[in-house]
Structure 1
Amino acid sequence: MQRTTTSEHLRKAAVVAAAAVMATGCTTNEPSSSKPPVTASSTPSPTTVSPTPENPEETAKKQAINTYLSHWKEVEKRYADKTDKAGDLKKYAAVVAKIQVEKDAEDMHRRNLVILGNVTVLNPTVISADLDRKVPKVVISSCLDISRWTVTNTETGKPASNLPKNRLLKYVIKATVEKWEQGWVVIEDKPQGKKC
């Protein structure tokens, strides 16, 4: 009698153990997720752990580069619009950089030309940074790829045919970006006349 009771207990225990395994969904020895389970001891306390602050100089450099990239998106819009209204140039550029784009666009549009397509700014790199001056300044060097830009005649809708054959489609360009009251702005953008 004692044996039957013991085997019944063992069978019931095996059924309970099998049900527990099935309930947790474990079918292999491998974890079901790449994330470790969250437990009270592994969860950081928000009052004791804070993220490592980013280096202010690196933050400034990233912001300057982002402004420069945004500037070129607005330049694309201005060059593509024969009314000379598209592109929020003053948001990202000032002084020489802004005036140069406006002048170039007006010149082109007066000759019934627009530039369609995208420009690509490759490898923008901060080559100098003076962040301790009254107006912080960063100089960025990059490779400007204009190979996907098409100078188009607005009257015919066809690509312009009178462009110089030896013009550079990828060239080094240096930009000076300053931090003004409203944020970072491109104040100068100078092609270096060199292939990249």
Structure 2
Amino acid sequence: MTARQARPRTHALALCGAVGLLLLLGLTGCGGGSDDTKPPTAPPKASSAAPEPSVSPADPDVAEKAAVLAAYTAMSREQMKAYRQADATGTDLEKYATTEALGQIRNDLAGMQAAGTVVRGELGHDAEVSELDMDAQTPTATLSDCVDLAGYETYDVKAKKAIPLPAQQPLRYVMTATAQRWDGRWMVTDIDPQGGAGATC
């Protein structure tokens, strides 16, 4: 099942400054009754200008990546609505998923109906756009999503009890999805639960 709204990561940069102590030494000379005292040398003025922080170039595709993640998040939300009732009726899946991706979801729903199960709780996501090709004839994006099953539950409607996850099932694992931009908007075209090759996250 599908699930990364790539959980935002922030980095704090601590700036440390060193304080220098300047000691002024007055040098005096004597001899012959004449005053050869030299005035003290003034210390150099410290520059008040702070060093400019290094700035990495802006990602030119940041807006497109945000649009991809928004479409994927919306599709995942509608998918969970369908799984909670084992039926896509009343959802907006067709707004965010193409025929192929919808087929995968409908296969899941058919299996749930046959087994008499629904989904309860929430499926956690931490998705990010791992690849983006805006130069392709049809712009394409690949997403990597860390799926979290901690709040997810399969429920047997007839037996009225939760079905535990298989013992070998990790609670967090990586899956992938593909999206394409059609007529100016991004659509999820493929969902691959095995795309992470069994990697945990």
Q: TM-score, normalised by structure 2?
A: 0.64
In 1, distance between residues paired with 2:173 and 2:107? Answer: 21
Aligned to 2:175: 173
Aligned to 1:22: none
User: For 1:1-196, what aligned pairs fall within 5 Å after superposition?
Assistant: 57-122=61-126, 124-161=127-164, 163-181=165-183, 183-191=185-193, 192=196, 193-196=198-201
In 1, distance between residues paired with 2:171 and 2:189? Answer: 23
In 1, distance between residues paired with 2:68 and 2:125? Answer: 14
State the 1:84 CA deviation.
4.1
State the 1:170 CA deviation.
1.2
More helix by share: 1
The one-letter code sitting in structure 2 at the alignment partner of 1:98 is: L
Q: From the superposition, tell whether residues 154 and 102 of structure 1 become closer, same or farther in structure 2 (CA, over 3 Å).
A: same
Specify the SS of the correspondent of 2:110: helix
The one-letter code sitting in structure 1 at the alignment partner of 2:117 is: L
- Equivalent residue pairs, number: 141
Specify the SS of the correspondent of 1:73: helix
In 2, distance between residues paired with 1:188 and 1:179? Answer: 13
Unaligned runs of 5+ in 1: 1-53
Specify the SS of the correspondent of 2:135: coil
Q: Percent identity?
A: 27
In 2, distance between residues paired with 1:66 and 1:170? Answer: 22
Specify the SS of the correspondent of 1:85: coil
1:79-99: CA deviation from partner (whole Å, max 9, x where unpaired): 111344242211111133211
In 2, distance between residues paired with 1:84 and 1:181? Answer: 24
The farther-off stretch of 59-68 and 176-185 is 176-185
The answer (yes or no) to whether the contact 1:95–1:188 under 8 Å persists in 2 is no
In 2, distance between residues paired with 1:184 and 1:150? Answer: 29
Instruction: Please identify runs of 4+ aligned residues in structure 1 that moved more than 6 A.
Output: none
The answer (yes or no) to whether the contact 2:75–2:93 under 8 Å persists in 1 is yes
The answer (yes or no) to whether the contact 1:84–1:106 under 8 Å persists in 2 is no
1:14-67: CA deviation from partner (whole Å, max 9, x where unpaired): xxxxxxxxxxxxxxxxxxxxxxxxxxxxxxxxxxxxxxxx97621111000111
Q: TM-score, normalised by structure 1?
A: 0.66
The one-letter code sitting in structure 2 at the alignment partner of 1:151 is: T
The answer (yes or no) to whether the contact 1:118–1:148 under 8 Å persists in 2 is yes
Q: From the superposition, tell whether residues 68 and 83 of structure 1 become closer, same or farther in structure 2 (CA, over 3 Å).
A: closer
In 2, distance between residues paired with 1:178 and 1:83? Answer: 25
